[in-house]
């Protein structure tokens, strides 16, 4: 009995020790199970998710020459997207409302709607305009990040008009715009420390190369254009490439900021030797392969393969013939005119002769031919027929018939003042021209002579400037100023002696584009002719001075051909 009581405390302590050991083993097992989870940390960035591009939709390509360029470039861009090993292609959706893709820059909600309908992450738009200064083309990339433009490429050439050369330019722009992205690729999968990347030897990746992984935290955008000018990012890992295939590579994580932070979608930062491959097209514009980024311009298939199929010239020749026909560009202008006319002469006997009409109808016709990309010749005429009262007391007849005509011919030079930050197909245009002008006023003969018919001839230096009113609407406004050099005036049937004329002429105008070929144009212009006389006169009551003032209000159309 005594032995049993002595053994009882020993038994209790053994049980207690056993419980402690079991608790410690259980805690260790739980800790071990916890450590078996390799990815306890996950970083998230909304911007990083919004700019990962897997599927791209392409808006209808626009041009101003009846789809001569738009159709082949649309086909080329679709082919590029469908052949792309990184980007997929989704057809552009139908909209209930009329969509103007040139306004996507200022209407991000339309971009978001297009991306949502197509389940795409990116949207490409392409514009091509052909004018006297050659071809101007733009390629823009929009993303889910607020529907704003991410990157833009532009092309302008005074001498390029061929569809084949334009195709090559768009391939280059497509290549450049991809390489403007703040990353070159991303992680496709992870298993332990092994990752798969969507970059391969065609991107310049080599076995043993070390690449940096990061997460994009913020896009820095241009305050006006909204394009990306920089990024804020955080380095999360480094990997070493262990195996390379043409469009894939396998790598091992050598450094990781925290365990498990590298996940699917982690971005591979650009490096000197890593870029998207250069698409290769044949002479028909079909995509036939890729070239590594270090390669210079990829040769056309016909340059390296003599057995390559030749281009079917039937459709191409038809389009080129139409282009050749449109290479000579010009503008024909027809306007109705209302002129406020006033003429006044101060006679040597102290009296004043004059006449006026505030609603003198007329017509204005003009044509401008662009003989070279920046050189033009211009011819125009204005004709008015109206009546006015004879204001000289005692002179007959009382009612006078008037004709007013103006002829002008000049040769000039156009200069585009382009915004370097945003080259535009509608920049500020400055023009200077030199030519000859003749202004004639024909008036009824009177007894005694009240007013004489006059003709004023002069060399003219014409200065003009025009600019788009807003990016959203096809409206241009401008101003013009004519400098008359050494004008000469003659009178008939009699004169007041030697004349010394001076002429002032200036105006403003506006243009509204109804279509690619037709614009509505309105002008307001003032021309004043002031003449002083001296010497021997042939009229009985000569004038000391004469003033002819015209205010022209014109409206009509311009036709581009």
8 A C-beta contact, residue 220 and residue 228: yes
Quick check: 300 pLDDT over 50?
no
Residues 159, 372: Cα–Cα separation, whole Å: 11
Quick check: 295 pLDDT over 50?
no
Quick check: 208 pLDDT over 70?
yes
Q: Concatenated DSSP letters for 509-560?
A: EEEEESSSSEEEEEEEEEEEEEEEEES--SSSS-EEEEEEEEEEEEEEEEEE
- The per-residue pLDDT for range 98-137, each reduced to its tens digit, is 777 778 888 889 899 999 999 999 999 998 888 766 788 9
Residues sharing a CB contact under 8 Å with residue 106, sequence separation 6 or more, in sequence order: 471, 472
Residues sharing a CB contact under 8 Å with residue 410, sequence separation 6 or more, in sequence order: 377, 378, 433, 434, 435, 436, 460, 462
- Residues composing the chain: 561
Topology of domain 185-268 in CATH is Thrombin, subunit H (2.40.10)
Cα of first residue to Cα of last residue in the chain, in angstroms, is: 126
Residues sharing a CB contact under 8 Å with residue 526, sequence separation 6 or more, in sequence order: 504, 505, 506, 507, 549, 550, 551, 552
Q: What is the DSSP letter of 104?
A: G
Q: Tell me whether strands 518-534 and 498-513 are parallel, antiparallel or unpaired.
A: antiparallel
Where do you find CATH 3.40.50 in the chain?
48-179+278-322
Reported as type and span, the H/E element at residue 110 is helix 108-118
Q: Which of 144-148, 199-203, 314-318, 375-379 has the lowest mean pLDDT?
A: 314-318
**Of residues 533, 548, 493, 532, the one with CA closest to residue 356:** 548
Q: Which residue has the tokens 């056993």?
A: 18
- The per-residue pLDDT for range 133-156, each reduced to its tens digit, is 678 899 999 999 899 999 999 988
Where do you find CATH 2.40.10.410 in the chain?
185-268
ω into 458 cis (within 30 of 0) = no
Topology of domain 48-179+278-322 in CATH is Rossmann fold (3.40.50)
8 A C-beta contact, residue 150 and residue 51: yes
Assign 454 a pLDDT band (cuts: 50, 70, 90). Answer: very high
Task: Give mean pLDDT, residues 59-72.
Answer: 88
Q: Which of 50-54, 127-131, 460-464 has the lowest mean pLDDT?
A: 127-131
pLDDT for the residue 98: 73
8 A C-beta contact, residue 230 and residue 221: no
8 A C-beta contact, residue 491 and residue 453: yes
pLDDT for the residue 313: 39
8 A C-beta contact, residue 229 and residue 268: no
Which residues are bridge partners to 143 per DSSP?
Answer: 122
Assign 418 a pLDDT band (cuts: 50, 70, 90). Answer: low
Structure tokens at 478: 């401008």
- The per-residue pLDDT for range 346-405, each reduced to its tens digit, is 998 889 999 999 999 999 999 999 888 789 999 999 999 999 999 988 889 999 999 999
Q: What is the DSSP letter of 175?
A: H
Assign 420 a pLDDT band (cuts: 50, 70, 90). Answer: very low
Instruction: Provide the angle, in degrees to the nearest 10, between the axes of the packed helices 70-83 and 163-178.
Output: 40
- The per-residue pLDDT for range 465-515, each reduced to its tens digit, is 998 876 556 788 999 999 999 999 999 999 999 999 999 999 999 998 887
pLDDT for the residue 32: 46
Question: Dihedral (C-alpha) 225, 228, 231, 236: value to the nearest 10 degrees?
Answer: 150
Of 28 and 97, the structure prediction assigns the larger pLDDT to 97
CA-CA distances (angstroms) from residue 323 to 130, 134, 161, 282, 560? 10, 12, 7, 22, 15
Q: Tell me whether strands 62-63 and 122-131 are parallel, antiparallel or unpaired.
A: parallel
Q: Which residue has the tokens 């715009």?
A: 177
Q: Compute the radius of gyration of the chain from its Cα atoms.
A: 39
Residues 311, 317: Cα–Cα separation, whole Å: 10
- The per-residue pLDDT for range 421-448, each reduced to its tens digit, is 444 445 688 999 999 999 999 999 999 9
8 A C-beta contact, residue 180 and residue 151: yes
Quick check: 97 pLDDT over 80?
no
Assign 278 a pLDDT band (cuts: 50, 70, 90). Answer: confident
- Mean pLDDT of the chain, nearest integer: 83
% of the chain with per-residue pLDDT over 90: 48
**Of residues 409, 405, 334, 407, the one with CA closest to residue 364:** 334
Q: Which of 35-49, 139-153, 176-190, 297-311 has the lowest mean pLDDT?
A: 297-311
pLDDT for the residue 423: 43
Q: Concatenated DSSP letters for 376-443?
A: EEEEEEEEEEEEEE--STT-B-SEEEEEEEEEEEEEEEEEEE--TTS--SS-EEEEEEEEEEEEEEEE
pLDDT for the residue 471: 54
pLDDT for the residue 39: 47
Residues 157, 159, 164: CA angle, nearest 5 degrees: 85
Q: Is the dihedral of CA 156, 183, 273, 204 positive or negative?
A: negative
Q: Which residue has the tokens 């330019």?
A: 169
Q: Which residue has the tokens 């391969």?
A: 200
pLDDT for the residue 281: 80
Residues 55, 432: Cα–Cα separation, whole Å: 49
Task: Give mean pLDDT, residues 167-187.
Answer: 90
- Global confidence as pTM: 0.51
Candidates 2.120.10.30, 3.40.250.10, 2.40.128.100, 3.30.300.180; CATH matching 328-560: 2.40.128.100
Assign 551 a pLDDT band (cuts: 50, 70, 90). Answer: very high
Residues sharing a CB contact under 8 Å with residue 451, sequence separation 6 or more, in sequence order: 343, 345, 353, 354, 355, 390, 392, 400, 443
Task: Give mean pLDDT, residues 521-527.
Answer: 95
pLDDT for the residue 553: 96
CA-CA distances (angstroms) from residue 155 to 152, 170, 207, 424, 516? 10, 8, 36, 10, 20
Of 181 and 315, the structure prediction assigns the larger pLDDT to 181
Residues 266, 261: Cα–Cα separation, whole Å: 9
Assign 13 a pLDDT band (cuts: 50, 70, 90). Answer: low
Residues 414, 430: Cα–Cα separation, whole Å: 6
Where do you find CATH 2.40.128.100 in the chain?
328-560
ω into 448 cis (within 30 of 0) = yes
Residues 178, 141: Cα–Cα separation, whole Å: 9
């Amino acid at each position: 009995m005594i032995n049993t009581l002595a053994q009882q405390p020993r038994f209790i302590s053994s049980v207690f020790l056993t419980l402690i050991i079991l608790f410690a083993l259980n805690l260790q097992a739980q800790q071990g199970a916890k450590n078996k989870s390799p990815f306890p940390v996950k970083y998230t960035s909304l911007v990083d998710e919004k700019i990962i591009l897997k599927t791209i939709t392409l808006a209808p390509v626009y041009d101003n020459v009846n789809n001569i360029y738009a159709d082949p470039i649309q086909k080329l861009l679709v082919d590029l997207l469908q052949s792309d090993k990184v980007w997929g292609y989704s057809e552009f959706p139908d909209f209930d409302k009329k969509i103007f893709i040139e306004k996507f820059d200022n209407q991000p909600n339309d971009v978001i709607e297009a991306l949502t309908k197509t389940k795409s992450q990116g949207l490409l738009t392409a514009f091509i305009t052909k004018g006297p200064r050659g071809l101007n083309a733009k390629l823009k990339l929009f993303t889910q990040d607020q529907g704003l433009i991410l990157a833009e490429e532009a092309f302008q050439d005074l001498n390029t008009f061929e569809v084949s050369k334009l195709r090559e330019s768009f391939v280059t722009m497509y290549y450049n715009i991809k390489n403007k992205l703040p990353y070159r690729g991303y992680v496709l999968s992870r298993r332990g420390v092994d990752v798969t990347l969507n970059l391969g030897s065609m991107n310049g990746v080599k076995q043993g190369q070390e690449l940096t992984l990061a997460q994009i935290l913020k896009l820095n955008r241009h305050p006006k254009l909204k394009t990306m000018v920089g990024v804020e990012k955080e380095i999360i890992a480094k990997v070493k490439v262990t195996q390379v295939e043409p469009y894939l590579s396998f790598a091992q994580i050598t450094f990781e900021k925290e365990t498990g932070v590298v996940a699917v979608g982690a971005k591979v930062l650009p490096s000197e030797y890593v870029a998207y491959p250069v698409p290769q097209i044949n002479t028909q514009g079909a995509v036939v392969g890729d070239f590594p980024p270090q390669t210079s311009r990829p040769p056309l298939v016909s340059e390296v393969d003599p057995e390559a199929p030749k281009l079917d010239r039937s459709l191409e020749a038809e389009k080129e013939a139409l282009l050749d026909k449109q290479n000579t560009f010009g503008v024909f202008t027809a306007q109705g005119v209302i002129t406020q006319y006033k003429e006044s002469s101060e006679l040597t006997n102290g009296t004043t002769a004059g006449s006026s009409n505030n609603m003198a109808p007329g017509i204005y016709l003009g044509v401008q031919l662009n003989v070279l990309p920046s050189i033009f010749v211009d011819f125009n005429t204005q004709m008015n027929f109206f009546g006015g009262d004879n204001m000289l007391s005692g002179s007959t007849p009382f009612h006078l018939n008037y004709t007013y005509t103006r002829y002008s011919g000049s040769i000039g030079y156009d200069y585009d003042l382009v915004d370097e930050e945003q080259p535009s197909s509608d920049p500020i245009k400055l023009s200077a021209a030199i030519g000859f002008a003749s202004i004639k006023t024909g008036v009824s003969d009177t007894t005694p002579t009240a007013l004489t018919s006059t003709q004023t001839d002069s060399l003219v230096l014409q200065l003009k400037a025009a600019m788009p009113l807003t990016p959203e609407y096809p409206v241009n406004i401008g101003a013009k100023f004519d400098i008359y050099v050494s004008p000469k005036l003659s009178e008939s049937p009699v004169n007041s002696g030697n004349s010394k004329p001076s002429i002032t002429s200036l105006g403003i105008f506006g243009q509204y584009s109804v279509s690619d070929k037709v614009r509505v144009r309105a002008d307001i212009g003032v021309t004043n002719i002031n003449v002083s006389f001296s010497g021997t006169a042939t009229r009985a009551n000569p004038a000391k001075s004469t003033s002819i003032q015209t205010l022209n209000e014109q409206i009509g159309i311009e036709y581009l051909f």
